């Protein structure tokens, strides 16, 4: 496999993005939405094509910079699926963009390219580059509703705070390079003990982790998330919650388990504390929220906590659980944002209270929204339940290694119960909330939206009821990390 | 038709079918739901009739692979312990759909939820895989929540809905942690109950570990069954719930925790069971006496029934705590009996609410004159509730008392007082207030259940109570081998500490 | 044949009850026919069994779990045969009488269903071969009596009375059930026959639990037979239709307690018997005193029943561990007939006076209702113990027992109560049937229809003659007592005076004295003169020694107070402070944490940097 054949998926995505951007200049305005549908089809095609790739064994390319293994492939598929749905959400949201919807699609595809590179990063340099590609695209995506102050403000906040965290990240990279003389994960892991025990490396690694923790919005680096999520346009928020977070997770997986496994293994205690705090902060702050986007922001913080549980367990089963959980999370979050986009078409609201009466206006949308929320809450027969089940199982299975794992499992349990409270609060509004005075008209759905909704529901139920296939993929992916 | 998967999936498939029907087919929704639960009931009757109580092991067993990587399988079957419960659940489900005639709004959605709940319940009782068991049980959580929220009643509906849901989730999650811990301790190979039983019989878990896992299961399941002091969700929730939800929940779903304790916790964690039984015996007094006394003070019929239902659960707990063949058998009989009774009581109170618009007992009086059928059945149900012979509750409670005497004398005496006296006091006071006395003018236009079709669900449930009350061996005989096996496992643990 | 006949005794009333409930609730005549037919069938089957002197047990296993095996058996022996006759005979008469008494009441089908259910339950108690089975029917009797007492449930008094009856009985049953648990825990069986065999072979088998078992089972009898301190329900139960009072409070339900004691007599040890004797004596005395000052016709009879039941219970108690409960059962049998007759006679009067029950509004009815009067008179004399009526003989046996038992205090008490009995019964007789009419009501009274008077006449037969039928000898066989050589009827007539003259003469003297006092006080009286003579005591007697008030206070002070506390705890502490508190704390925590999110970029940047410093500091300097 040549180097460029291996990055074919990324190239295809980038090419689609460029094509959309260029074609936008030629296509008449009223036909522009076809551009997005073409992009969607292209992404779907790439997604399907990704299954044609078979990996007898992991490939290391570009001098070890880039790795193509099951883990990378799992995440690439994940990002493709997420972007596909985000594109649909974006198209449904198009009426609220002042202009340049094709640019929005193109930017989404560029961010996707970054994420797909991140999935394969085997070196701090690629890590940085991929991450920046994602982040910088998101600065634009966040402030895309340029006539809306909230959107602009969110963009600025994200830009400045993101730059700050990138600063830490870069500084960390420099320290690592200074300490170990290499940027490659595997080479770093194979460094002599003296290097691995040096404070310089510790500080460098910590700073990198800070940068990644910022991406996944783990406590205490979560402050940006609520404001940015709230201000950004709905599709951007969805992509932030799913794609950006997953990119952070895959990089974190690589750094944590590949780059310095010995070092990170000794950081179990702090990790547990961070996990517990993230969980509690997310669920507690979500309770009083009135804005769906803000609620989802806190929910995404809480979910970062759940994902960190898999890191806590420190086992292949834990990582597999993280991957599976992300799958369920993808369908649930995108289902919710898709419904929100459709239900609030023609309005400029993100208040949960404005979902009142949805149960009567559109049983289908209400049903999908409910399934998404219920899945996030972790109730059978949906994907979220099986994900939480796997996470808890992996934590309890490793609990003999660190007694703190029992405590963190208890915190997780508490967090699930509290999270039920606010997720079900939304369901309450949907089905028996105080309705607005005038009876709102029923909602008409175009077939792409229906297809996307169907895809989400199918994903939620499939992962929940027949988890074996995806679980096998996740386990396979988890195996590509080096386990002793 | 005598096929457990058929019984379980009939309602679930019907739910999907109703979801796919156009919104305007109002007549069909109810018909499909009736048909599905009716078929389930028929299947359950045939399973019950075809059950061979002489044979050991599982009958009507079905086993499919599901998630091999974790040792999770789709494994259903019946033995003496759950064959009665499955029948009871199917009967209650059918009755619950029957009494849903009062629902006029959003029927499509309503029947989907009720059927999902019914399917989940039936599945939980038939499962022989810990994961499947939990999975099916949780299927009912969201339907319950929405059913109470949308079709519920009363000023405290919202609060009650959330309280019930959160309590139940908390209980279920604590139990889930316990189940996972059990799985982990048993070598992480299988969730299959039979496999686990064999494995743990040969390689028992260390007693200290057993103890904490049992604690998790006890309190997790205990919350689901409204073990004192985790019971306050129940009366409130049932008072707010629409009739069918209250019937299914109080009648059947609540038994899940007890069933889990008997089926899973006792045989797999015998040493843990030994270490917790004294606590459980004490707590069950909280149910029997305390909640009985609380029931005395209720002015709302559904609150009274709810508290009484909580109190009855105490007998099942006491039976389990006695760790004797009699006690555990009694506990299962109580489960079946109370399932039918609670369903019947809530069905009747739903009928009353529908006709009167209130359940404040002070506003009723002399209703027996207006509603002879419903009143007569309710009086009978209340007699069943105070443990009158002839109804299935009596053999259950009597067995529990006989079984518990050896281990807990004082508690048995107090429980006996609760069963015979306190229960009778609140039930008869209610009968006096609601049904007896001079008829009030404001209810002079009330109409009783008009025809056989309307009477059917009540008659079926009452018949169930009477049949099992007069011939308790229908329940107890099939149970003997499996109960004595379970009890021997736990008792054997004392012999070799 | 023998295996089928006992079921033919037991099941017809049940089938009748079921059939009426399911199909004949709107058809009074059919219901009455079914019910009466069923009891007639039972009576016929009982008579055949009696004639054959059947004995033995037919049974099937009702419940078998672990070590507990409960047989559902029908046990026939002299005691149960006699009791069968009492229940079906007296019961049958009452069934027929009810047809006339309830003419025109819309609830008749329900009434007959209840009556049949009651008969079934009572027959079940009589035939039970197993203690748990007996408990089952015991409870069924309780519930069917509840339904019958509360037949006119729209009347608050009736509704309250039925509730009170059931609940008071339940308190007794609580002891009964515990007794059963204890019996089973000690011996491992609940079968009467097996228990008896085991205790005969090994008298100390019950060990230390013996007294407790005896007293706990006695609790059941205290409840059903309305003994002190659970006697309060019976007078109130008079709110039911009069035939029900006759059935429940004369022949059957209240007798069940005594029957139970005679069934488990072998279980009772000396201390238990002493307690039983004293409870019986106390009940007899208190009830007789209360009866003396009641004005309600049926209540007088109710207290009289209490008092006579006290006699029976006392008779069990003084029989001693080597004795037999024959005396109690004998009195039970005779009492059943004459007390039923009294109630039915009272019903006849009440029916004639359009439900007037106050005796001070009656008078001079002897001429207007001759059949009622004469049968009532016979029953009164039998109750008082005037020779040669049945009551004299059965009561004499009890007096003799008390005398021979050297329970001198109890003997005096019994004699005194015999005097009181005569006094209150003559008071009743004189006020109701003799003297002037004390209101307008009696003016229009006339004799009841034959459907009511024929049962009266039928019941009058055993009332007068039962003393000569050798009931005690028949019963004695059941307990292995050799029958005394039979003599002529004349010898039998004076036997009490030759055999044990002191008790017989004392009883007779009490009767004469009591009758004389009543004659002096109440002949022609328009108002009760006794309150003037007795003052406050009279008030206490009239107000039933304030037991009801005491119990009300007691219940309010304990149970209701506990319920109040439990409810308050539940409402305010558990559901309130704890649950709502937790909820509030979480919610508050959320709101407080949210304050961190100020929205200000500078703050965020600062916090981010602080986070980095914190992490680094912790990791490097821990």
List phi, psi (to 5°) of C356.
-85, 125
Strand runs labelled E in A73-220: none
DSSP C164-198: HHHHHHHHHHHHHHHHHHHHHHHHS--BHHHHHHH
For residue C205, the SS3 value is: coil
The closest CB to that of C607, out of A220, A226, A284, belongs to: A220
How is residue A441 annotated by DSSP? P
Q: How far apart are CA C96 and CA C149, in angstroms?
A: 18
| Residue B166 forms contact with A (CB below 8 Å) | yes
CA gyration radius, chain A:
21
Within this chain, do residues A212 and A289 fall inside the same structural domain, yes or no? Answer: no
Q: How far apart are CA C425 and CA C301, in angstroms?
A: 9
| Residue B177 forms contact with A (CB below 8 Å) | yes
Q: Which residues are CB-contacts of A301 (< 8 A; sequence separation ≥ 6)?
A: A217, A218, A219, A222, A225, A278, A281, A282, A285
From the CA of A287, how many Å to the nearest CA of chain B? 13
User: How far is residue B229 CA from its own chain's centroid?
Assistant: 19
**pLDDT at residue C251 greater than cutoff 80:** no
Contacts of A285 in chain C (CB under 8 A): 590, 593-594, 597
List phi, psi (to 5°) of A144.
-70, -30
Can you state the angle between helices B80-98 and B26-50, rounded to 10 degrees?
A: 160
- CA distance readout (Å), B6 to A448, B21, B53, B350, B491: 36, 22, 22, 30, 37
Predicted pLDDT at B495: 47
**Model confidence over A132-157: pLDDT tens digits?**
999 999 999 999 988 889 999 999 99
For residue A108, the SS3 value is: helix
- For residues A450-473, give the mean pLDDT: 94
Q: How far apart are CA A2 and CA A68, in angstroms?
A: 12
**Model confidence over C557-611: pLDDT tens digits?**
888 888 898 888 888 888 888 888 888 998 898 888 888 888 888 889 999 999 9
| Residue B162 forms contact with A (CB below 8 Å) | yes
Q: How long is chain C?
A: 622
Within this chain, do residues A238 and A278 fall inside the same structural domain, yes or no? Answer: no
**pLDDT at residue C548 greater than cutoff 50:** yes
For B487, name the nearest residue in chain C, comparing CA atoms only. C66
CB of A281 closer than 8 Å to CB of A300: no
Q: B232 is written with which tokens?
A: 């306050």
Choosing from A259, A289, A323, the residue where a domain stops is A259
User: How far is residue B292 CA from its own chain's centroid?
Assistant: 18
Predicted pLDDT at A436: 60
Within this chain, do residues A242 and A276 fall inside the same structural domain, yes or no? Answer: no
User: How far is residue B214 CA from its own chain's centroid?
Assistant: 21
Residue of A134, A132, A126, A12 lying closest to A61 (CA atoms): A126
Inspect the interface and report whether the beta carbons of B296 and C559 lie closer than 8 Å.
yes
Q: How far apart are CA A261 and CA A185, in angstroms?
A: 10
| Residue B139 forms contact with A (CB below 8 Å) | yes
DSSP C380-393: HHHHHT-TTSHHHH
Predicted pLDDT at C343: 87
Predicted pLDDT at C249: 78
Inspect the interface and report whether the beta carbons of B67 and A431 lie closer than 8 Å.
no
A291 forms bridges with which residues in the sheet? A351
**Model confidence over C396-431: pLDDT tens digits?**
888 888 888 766 888 888 889 989 999 888 888 888
Predicted pLDDT at B442: 83
How is residue C486 annotated by DSSP? P
* CB atoms near residue A29 (< 10 Å): 10
Inspect the interface and report whether the beta carbons of A374 and B67 lie closer than 8 Å.
no
CB of C502 closer than 8 Å to CB of C403: yes
Within this chain, do residues A276 and A251 fall inside the same structural domain, yes or no? Answer: no
| Residue C619 forms contact with A (CB below 8 Å) | yes
CB of B64 closer than 8 Å to CB of B11: no
CB of B120 closer than 8 Å to CB of B137: yes
Start-to-end C-alpha separation, chain A: 28
How is residue A440 annotated by DSSP? P
Decide which of C14 and A193 is more confident: C14
**Model confidence over A273-332: pLDDT tens digits?**
999 999 999 999 999 999 999 999 999 999 999 999 999 998 999 999 999 999 999 999
Strand runs labelled E in A145-277: none
pLDDT along chain B (497 residues), means of 10: 86 93 86 94 93 85 90 91 93 94 88 94 93 92 92 88 92 94 88 90 88 93 91 90 92 92 92 91 92 91 92 93 93 94 94 88 85 90 91 93 91 91 91 88 82 90 94 91 89 60
Number of H helices, E strands in chain C: 28, 2
Helix (H) or strand (E) holding B59: strand B59-67
Size of interface B-C (CB pairs under 8 A): 137
For B220, name the nearest residue in chain A, comparing CA atoms only. A413
How is residue A442 annotated by DSSP? P
Q: B301 is written with which tokens?
A: 């019929």
Q: B376 is written with which tokens?
A: 């007569």
Predicted pLDDT at C325: 86
Q: How far apart are CA A198 and CA A180, in angstroms?
A: 9
Domain boundaries, chain B: 3-495
Predicted pLDDT at C439: 79
Within this chain, do residues A249 and A332 fall inside the same structural domain, yes or no? Answer: no
From the CA of A110, how many Å to the nearest CA of chain B? 37
Please give the ipTM for the structure prediction.
Answer: 0.90
Inspect the interface and report whether the beta carbons of A420 and B67 lie closer than 8 Å.
no
List phi, psi (to 5°) of C191.
-75, 130
Q: How far apart are CA C40 and CA C46, in angstroms?
A: 10
Within this chain, do residues A235 and A296 fall inside the same structural domain, yes or no? Answer: no
**pLDDT at residue A438 greater than cutoff 70:** no
The closest CB to that of C615, out of A206, A227, A284, belongs to: A206
For residue C68, the SS3 value is: strand
Inspect the interface and report whether the beta carbons of A468 and B181 lie closer than 8 Å.
no
Q: Which residues are CB-contacts of A383 (< 8 A; sequence separation ≥ 6)?
A: A327, A328, A331, A332, A375, A459, A460, A461, A462, A463, A464, A467
Within this chain, do residues A213 and A278 fall inside the same structural domain, yes or no? Answer: no
Within this chain, do residues A111 and A71 fall inside the same structural domain, yes or no? Answer: yes
Inspect the interface and report whether the beta carbons of B69 and A472 lie closer than 8 Å.
yes
List phi, psi (to 5°) of C27.
-125, 90
Determine the residue among B165, B178, B241 to mutate to test chain A binding: the one whose Cβ has the most chain A Cβ atoms within 10 Å.
B165
Within this chain, do residues A290 and A348 fall inside the same structural domain, yes or no? Answer: yes
| Residue B232 forms contact with A (CB below 8 Å) | no
Q: How far apart are CA B20 and CA C181, in angstroms?
A: 57
Choosing from A259, A280, A309, the residue where a domain stops is A259
Predicted pLDDT at A57: 82
| Residue B399 forms contact with C (CB below 8 Å) | yes
DSSP A68-91: ESHHHHHHHHHHHHHHHHHHHHHH
From the CA of C576, how many Å to the nearest CA of chain A? 18
Q: Which residues are CB-contacts of A79 (< 8 A; sequence separation ≥ 6)?
A: A112, A115, A116, A119, A243, A246, A247
- Domain count for chain A: 2
Inspect the interface and report whether the beta carbons of C599 and A161 lie closer than 8 Å.
no
**pLDDT at residue A33 greater than cutoff 90:** no
Helix (H) or strand (E) holding B182: helix B157-185
CA gyration radius, chain B:
21
| Residue C608 forms contact with A (CB below 8 Å) | yes
Buried b (16+ CB within 10 A) or exposed e, B118-143: bbbbbbbbbbbbbbbbbbbbbbbbbb
Q: How far apart are CA B421 and CA C365, in angstroms?
A: 45
Determine the residue among A318, A367, A393 to mutate to test chain B binding: the one whose Cβ has the most chain B Cβ atoms within 10 Å.
A393
Longest dimension (CA), chain C: 122
Within this chain, do residues A425 and A287 fall inside the same structural domain, yes or no? Answer: yes
| Residue B443 forms contact with A (CB below 8 Å) | no
Q: C527 is written with which tokens?
A: 């108002």
Q: C546 is written with which tokens?
A: 């304030």
| Residue C537 forms contact with A (CB below 8 Å) | no
Q: B471 is written with which tokens?
A: 């011939």
Q: How far apart are CA A357 and CA A432, in angstroms?
A: 7
pTM check: above 0.95 = no
Chains that touch C (3 or more CB pairs under 8 A): A, B
For B72, name the nearest residue in chain A, comparing CA atoms only. A468
| Residue C106 forms contact with A (CB below 8 Å) | no
Choosing from A259, A280, A311, the residue where a domain stops is A259
Q: C522 is written with which tokens?
A: 């109440």
- Of A155-159, A420-424, C71-75, the range with the lowest mean pLDDT is C71-75
**pLDDT at residue C487 greater than cutoff 70:** no
Query: pLDDT band at A1, cuts 50/70/90?
Result: low
Q: List the domain range (segments joined by +) for residue A294.
A: 267-484
Determine the residue among B334, B387, B436, B491 to mutate to test chain C binding: the one whose Cβ has the most chain C Cβ atoms within 10 Å.
B436
Within this chain, do residues A72 and A178 fall inside the same structural domain, yes or no? Answer: yes
Residue of B431, B352, B336 lying closest to B391 (CA atoms): B336
Q: C258 is written with which tokens?
A: 């005594």
CB of B234 closer than 8 Å to CB of B294: no
Q: A163 is written with which tokens?
A: 């730059």
* CB atoms near residue A320 (< 10 Å): 26
Contacts of A471 in chain B (CB under 8 A): 67, 69-70
For B108, name the nearest residue in chain A, comparing CA atoms only. A363
Inspect the interface and report whether the beta carbons of C596 and A199 lie closer than 8 Å.
no
The closest CB to that of B141, out of A379, A421, A467, belongs to: A379
Inspect the interface and report whether the beta carbons of A270 and C597 lie closer than 8 Å.
no
From the CA of A454, how many Å to the nearest CA of chain B? 13
Predicted pLDDT at B69: 87
Helices (H), A94-148: 101-120, 124-142
From the CA of C119, how many Å to the nearest CA of chain A? 55
DSSP strand pairing (A66-68 vs A59-61)? antiparallel
Determine the residue among B153, B180, B187 to mutate to test chain A binding: the one whose Cβ has the most chain A Cβ atoms within 10 Å.
B180
Q: How far apart are CA C176 and CA C159, in angstroms?
A: 26
Q: C450 is written with which tokens?
A: 């034959």
Residue of B455, B446, B301, B298 lying closest to B368 (CA atoms): B446
Predicted pLDDT at B1: 56
Size of interface A-B (CB pairs under 8 A): 85
Inspect the interface and report whether the beta carbons of B472 and C61 lie closer than 8 Å.
no
Burial class (CB in 10 A: 0-12, 13-18, 19+), A27: middle
Within this chain, do residues A229 and A277 fall inside the same structural domain, yes or no? Answer: no
């Amino acid at each position: 496999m040549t180097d460029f054949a291996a990055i074919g998926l990324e190239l295809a995505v980038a090419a689609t993005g460029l094509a959309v951007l260029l074609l936008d200049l030629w296509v008449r305005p009223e036909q522009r939405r076809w551009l997005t549908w073409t992009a969607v089809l292209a992404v779907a095609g790439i997604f399907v094509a990704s299954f044609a790739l078979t990996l007898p064994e992991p490939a290391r390319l570009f001098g070890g910079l880039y790795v193509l293994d099951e883990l990378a492939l799992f995440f690439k598929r994940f990002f493709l699926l997420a972007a596909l749905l985000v594109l649909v959400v974006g198209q449904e949201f198009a009426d609220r963009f002042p202009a340049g919807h094709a640019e929005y699609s193109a930017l989404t595809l560029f961010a996707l390219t970054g994420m797909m590179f991140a999935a394969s990063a085997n070196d701090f340099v690629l890590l940085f580059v991929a991450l920046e590609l994602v982040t910088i695209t998101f600065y634009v995506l966040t402030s895309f509703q340029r006539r809306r102050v909230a959107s602009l403000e969110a963009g600025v906040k994200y830009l400045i705070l993101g730059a700050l965290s990138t600063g830490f990240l870069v500084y960390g990279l420099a320290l690592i390079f200074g300490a170990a003389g290499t940027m490659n994960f595997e080479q770093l892991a194979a460094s002599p003990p003296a290097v691995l025990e040096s404070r310089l490396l510790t500080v460098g690694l910590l700073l990198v982790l800070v940068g990644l923790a910022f991406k996944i919005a783990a406590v205490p680096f979560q402050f940006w998330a609520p404001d940015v999520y709230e201000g950004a346009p709905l599709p951007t928020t969805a992509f932030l919650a799913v794609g950006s977070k997953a990119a952070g997770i895959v990089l974190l997986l690589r750094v944590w388990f590949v780059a310095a496994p010995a070092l990170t293994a000794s950081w179990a205690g702090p990790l547990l504390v961070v996990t517990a705090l993230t969980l509690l902060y997310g669920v507690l702050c979500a309770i009083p929220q009135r804005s769906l986007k803000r609620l989802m922001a806190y929910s995404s913080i809480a979910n970062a906590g759940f994902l960190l549980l898999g890191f806590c367990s420190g086992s292949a089963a834990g990582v597999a659980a993280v991957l599976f959980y992300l799958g369920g999370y993808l369908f649930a979050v995108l289902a919710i944002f898709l419904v929100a986009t459709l239900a609030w078409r023609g309005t400029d609201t993100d208040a949960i209270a404005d979902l009142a009466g949805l149960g009567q206006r559109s049983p289908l949308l209400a049903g999908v929204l409910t399934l998404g929320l219920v899945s996030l809450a972790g109730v059978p027969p949906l994907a979220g339940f099986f994900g939480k089940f796997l996470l808890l199982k992996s934590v309890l299975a490793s609990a003999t290694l660190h007694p703190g794992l029992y405590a963190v499992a208890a915190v997780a349990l508490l967090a699930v119960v509290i999270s039920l409270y606010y997720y079900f609060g939304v369901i309450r509004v949907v089905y028996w909330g105080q309705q607005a005075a005038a009876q709102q008209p029923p909602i008409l759905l175009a077939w792409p939206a229906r297809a996307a909704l169907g895809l989400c529901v199918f994903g939620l139920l499939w992962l929940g009821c027949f988890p074996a296939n995806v679980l096998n993929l996740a386990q396979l992916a988890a195996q590509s990390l080096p386990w002793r | 038709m005598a096929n457990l998967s058929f019984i379980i999936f009939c309602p679930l498939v019907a739910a999907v079918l109703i979801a796919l029907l156009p919104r305007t087919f109002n007549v069909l929704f109810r018909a499909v739901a009736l048909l599905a639960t009716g078929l389930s009931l028929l299947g359950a009757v045939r399973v019950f009739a075809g059950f061979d109580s002489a044979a050991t092991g599982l009958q009507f067993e079905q086993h499919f692979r599901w998630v091999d990587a974790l040792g999770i399988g789709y494994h259903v079957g019946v033995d003496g312990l759950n064959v009665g419960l499955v029948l009871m659940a199917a009967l209650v489900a059918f009755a619950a759909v029957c009494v849903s005639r009062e629902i006029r709004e959003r029927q499509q959605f309503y029947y989907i939820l009720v059927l999902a709940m019914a399917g989940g319940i039936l599945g939980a009782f038939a499962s022989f895989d810990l994961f499947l068991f939990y999975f099916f049980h949780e299927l009912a959580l969201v339907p319950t929540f929405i059913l109470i929220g949308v079709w519920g009643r009363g000023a405290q509906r919202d609060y009650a809905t959330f309280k019930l849901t959160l309590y139940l989730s908390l209980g279920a999650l604590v139990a889930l942690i316990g189940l996972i811990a059990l799985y982990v301790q048993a070598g992480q190979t299988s969730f299959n109950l039979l496999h686990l039983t064999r494995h743990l019989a040969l390689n028992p878990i260390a007693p200290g570990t057993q103890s904490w896992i049992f604690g998790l299961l006890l309190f997790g399941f205990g919350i689901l069954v409204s073990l004192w002091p985790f019971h306050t969700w129940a009366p409130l929730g049932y008072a707010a719930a629409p009739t069918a939800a209250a019937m299914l929940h109080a009648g059947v779903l609540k038994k899940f925790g007890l069933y889990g304790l008997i089926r899973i916790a006792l045989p797999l964690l015998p040493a843990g069971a030994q270490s917790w039984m004294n606590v459980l015996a004490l707590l069950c007094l909280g149910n029997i006496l305390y909640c009985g006394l609380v029931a005395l003070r209720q002015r709302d019929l559904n609150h009274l029934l709810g508290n009484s239902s909580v109190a009855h659960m105490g007998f099942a707990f006491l039976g389990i705590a006695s760790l004797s063949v009699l006690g555990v058998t009694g506990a299962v009989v109580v489960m079946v009996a109370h399932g039918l009774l609670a369903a019947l009581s809530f069905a009747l109170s739903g009928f009353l609410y529908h006709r009167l618009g209130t359940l404040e007992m002070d506003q009723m009086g002399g209703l027996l004159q207006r509603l002879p059928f419903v009143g007569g059945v309710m009086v009978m149900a209340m007699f069943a509730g105070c443990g009158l012979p002839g109804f299935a509750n009596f053999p259950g409670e009597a067995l529990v008392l006989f079984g518990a005497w050896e281990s807990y004398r004082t508690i048995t005496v107090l429980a006996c007082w609760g069963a015979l006296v306190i229960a009778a006091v609140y039930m008869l006071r209610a009968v006096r207030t609601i049904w007896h006395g001079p008829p009030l003018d404001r209810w002079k236009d009330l109409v009783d259940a008009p025809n056989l079709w309307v009477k059917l669900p009540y008659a079926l449930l009452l018949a169930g109570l009477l049949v099992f009350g007069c011939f308790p061996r229908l329940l107890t005989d099939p149970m003997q081998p499996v109960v004595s096996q379970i009890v021997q496992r736990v008792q054997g643990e004392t012999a070799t500490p | 044949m023998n295996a089928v006949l006992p079921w033919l005794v037991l099941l017809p009333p049940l089938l009748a009850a079921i059939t009426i409930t399911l199909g004949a609730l709107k058809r009074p005549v059919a219901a009455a026919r079914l019910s009466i037919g069923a009891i007639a069938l039972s009576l016929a089957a009982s008579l055949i069994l009696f004639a054959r002197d059947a004995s033995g047990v037919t049974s099937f296993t009702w419940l078998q779990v672990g070590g507990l095996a409960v047989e559902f058996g029908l046990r026939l022996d002299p005691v149960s045969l006699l009791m069968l006759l009492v229940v079906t005979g007296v019961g049958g008469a009452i069934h027929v009488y009810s047809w006339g008494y309830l003419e025109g009441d819309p609830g008749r089908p329900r009434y007959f269903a209840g009556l049949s259910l009651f008969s079934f339950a009572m027959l079940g108690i009589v035939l039970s071969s197993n203690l748990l089975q007996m408990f089952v029917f015991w409870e069924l009797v309780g519930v069917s009596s509840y339904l019958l007492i509360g037949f006119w449930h729209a009347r608050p008094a009736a509704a309250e009375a039925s509730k009170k009856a059931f609940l008071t009985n339940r308190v007794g049953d609580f002891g009964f059930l515990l007794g059963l648990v204890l019996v089973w825990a000690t011996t491992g069986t609940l079968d009467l026959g097996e228990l008896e065999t085991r205790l005969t072979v090994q008298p100390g088998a019950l060990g230390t639990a013996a007294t407790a078992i005896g007293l706990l089972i006695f609790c059941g009898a205290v409840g059903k037979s309305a003994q002190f301190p659970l006697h309060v329900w019976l007078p109130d139960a008079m709110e039911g239709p009069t035939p029900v009072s006759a059935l429940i409070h004369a022949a059957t339900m209240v007798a069940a307690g005594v029957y139970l004691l005679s069934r488990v007599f072998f279980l009772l040890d000396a201390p238990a018997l002493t307690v039983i004797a004293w409870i019986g004596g106390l009940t007899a005395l208190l009830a007789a005193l209360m009866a003396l000052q009641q004005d309600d016709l049926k209540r007088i009879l109710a207290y009289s029943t209490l008092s006579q039941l006290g006699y029976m219970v006392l008779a069990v108690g003084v029989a001693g561990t080597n004795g037999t409960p024959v005396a109690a059962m004998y009195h039970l049998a005779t009492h059943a007939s004459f007390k039923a007759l009294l109630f039915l006679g009272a019903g006849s009067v009440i029916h004639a006076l359009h439900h007037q029950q106050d005796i001070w509004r009656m008078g001079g009815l002897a001429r207007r209702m001759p059949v009622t009067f004469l049968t009532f008179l016979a029953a009164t004399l039998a109750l008082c113990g005037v020779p040669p009526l049945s009551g004299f003989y059965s009561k004499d046996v009890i007096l003799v027992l008390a005398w021979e038992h050297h329970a001198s205090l109890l003997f005096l008490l019994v004699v005194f109560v015999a005097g009181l009995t005569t006094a209150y019964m003559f008071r009743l007789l004189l006020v109701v049937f003799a003297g002037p009419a004390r209101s307008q009501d009696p003016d229009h009274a006339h004799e009841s229809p034959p459907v009511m008077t024929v049962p009266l006449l039928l019941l009058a037969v055993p009332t007068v003659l039962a003393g000569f039928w050798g009931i005690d000898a028949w019963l004695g066989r059941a307990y292995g007592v050799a029958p005394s050589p039979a003599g002529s009827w004349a010898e039998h007539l004076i036997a009490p005076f030759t055999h044990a003259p002191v008790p017989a003469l004392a009883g007779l003297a009490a009767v004469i004295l009591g009758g004389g006092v009543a004659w002096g006080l109440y002949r022609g009286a328009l108002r009760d003169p006794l309150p003037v003579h007795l003052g406050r005591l009279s008030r206490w007697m009239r107000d039933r020694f304030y037991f009801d008030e005491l119990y009300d206070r007691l219940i309010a002070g304990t149970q209701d107070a506990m319920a109040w506390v439990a409810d308050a705890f539940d409402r305010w502490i558990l559901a309130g402070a704890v649950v709502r508190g937790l909820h509030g704390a979480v919610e508050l925590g959320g709101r407080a944490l949210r304050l961190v999110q100020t929205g200000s970029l500078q703050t965020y940047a600062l916090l981010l940097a602080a986070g980095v410093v914190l992490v680094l500091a912790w990791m490097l300097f821990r």
